[in-house]
Amino acid sequence: MDLLNTLVEKGLRRELPSREEALAVLTTSDDDLLEVVAAAGKVRRQWFGRRVKLNYLVNLKSGLCPEDCSYCSQRLGSEAGILKYTWLKPDEASKAAAAGVAGGAKRVCLVASGRGPTDRDVDRVSKTIGAIKEQNADVEVCACLGLLSDGQAERLKAAGADAYNHNLNTSESTYGDITTTHTYADRVETVRHAQGAGLSACSGLIAGMGESDADLVDVVFALRALDPDSVPVNFLIPVEGTPLAGEWNLTPQRALRILAMVRFVCPDVEVRLAGGREVHLRTMQPLALHLVNSIFLGDYLTTEGQEGKADLDMIADAGFEVEGAGTTTLPEHRGGGGCASACAPSDSAASVSASSAGAEAASDGAGASARTDLVTVRRRGAGTDLAPNA
């Protein structure tokens, strides 16, 4: 397919594809899906080899958010039956983080509900970062606290934070349909605050909220222009009690096409498979590893994920390897340590062919349907007395 050959060549050169080419990826047929995955997989292996970075979420403060983001179970007016609790103490958060690190996580993501942190909140999180780093000096810590005010990113950096996450979520033109209590521009400004403070910027999207193909391409092109180091791709988890609970717009095949498009547009950044992979990709999750180089281990903020051991088994069975603490994630030109021969394109175990396991499932998405039974509210880990999933 000429389109895929062109996209591979551009990805290997870090050249931006055209909007038409990106849109064309999203409209490829299910019959061509494995070819799309194989092509994007060549770009993924060029820059990241067969490594998969593991990340672990710690929800520092759950629920009771004053913002009205339609996709979120913690939003203002949410009727979702999620865990609700105020700030974890530094030792509690550090204990939760240690479980993720023990499971193989290289990065711990500290998340708190709310519009944005107060200065007192920044002090709290700074102490938590210190507690985590004291136990695991090499672990990367990413904070995700909402909109940042002047000077807060610098304080988090000084406390030992390595990165800051704030997603754009959807296109600028449709942002007001999803959230009204803050703007798309507010989100862009926060990402730039983080970059200006020397934090590694993490910013991504949520697919499956009823957006068009053009919206998806718009937000991914905006992310490319913003140039974060990592781009998490979330697939909407339609939680009962939220305005988008009825939005079941994704099949496993569409989810894979979205991931491939993101890889072609952002070839050399850490593309992270985030929330919703178990719900929407289901048994086709291993194919996504050919497109992304990073995933979350275990549970999410308010919903449960796949068992941590199953994540590790999936990575090994698919012919990939967990990225070690001593390995730099990003390629050298992005400030990383380079990939050397480990990232060269090859016909290794990480390649995909039409005879791969799952080929029949990939070629026919007609039988896909909503799997509401796979959405489970988190009742373990942070904020509970039960052991976390890591």
Report how far residue 200's alpha carbon sits from residue 345's, in angstroms, rounded to the nearest whole number. Answer: 27
Query: Which one from 75, 107, 124, 142 is the annotated catalytic residue?
Result: 142
Query: Which one from 107, 109, 254, 339 is the annotated catalytic residue?
Result: 109
Query: Which one from 45, 50, 69, 339 is the annotated catalytic residue?
Result: 69
Burial 177-208 (b: 16+ CB within 10 A, else e): ebbeebebebbbebbebbbebebbbbbbbbbb
Query: Which one from 124, 187, 202, 343 is the annotated catalytic residue?
Result: 202
Residue 65: active-site member = yes
Which residues does residue 231 pair with via DSSP β-bridges, in sequence order? 271
Closest alpha carbon to 207 in 287, 142, 271:
271
Query: Which one from 72, 144, 266, 339 is the annotated catalytic residue?
Result: 72
DSSP letters for 218-242: HHHHHHHHH--SEEEEEE----TTS
Residue appearing with tokens 């099949």: 251
- For residues 234 and 205, is the Cβ–Cβ distance under 8 A? yes
Closest alpha carbon to 147 in 171, 161, 126, 167:
167
18: which residues sit within 8 A by CB, 6+ positions away?
none
Residue 272: active-site member = yes
Residue 109: active-site member = yes
- For residues 356 and 68, is the Cβ–Cβ distance under 8 A? no
Residue 339: active-site member = no
Residue 202: active-site member = yes
The amino acid at residue 233 is V
Residue 266: active-site member = no
The number of residues making up the chain comes to 390
Q: Which residues are catalytic?
A: 65, 69, 72, 109, 142, 202, 272
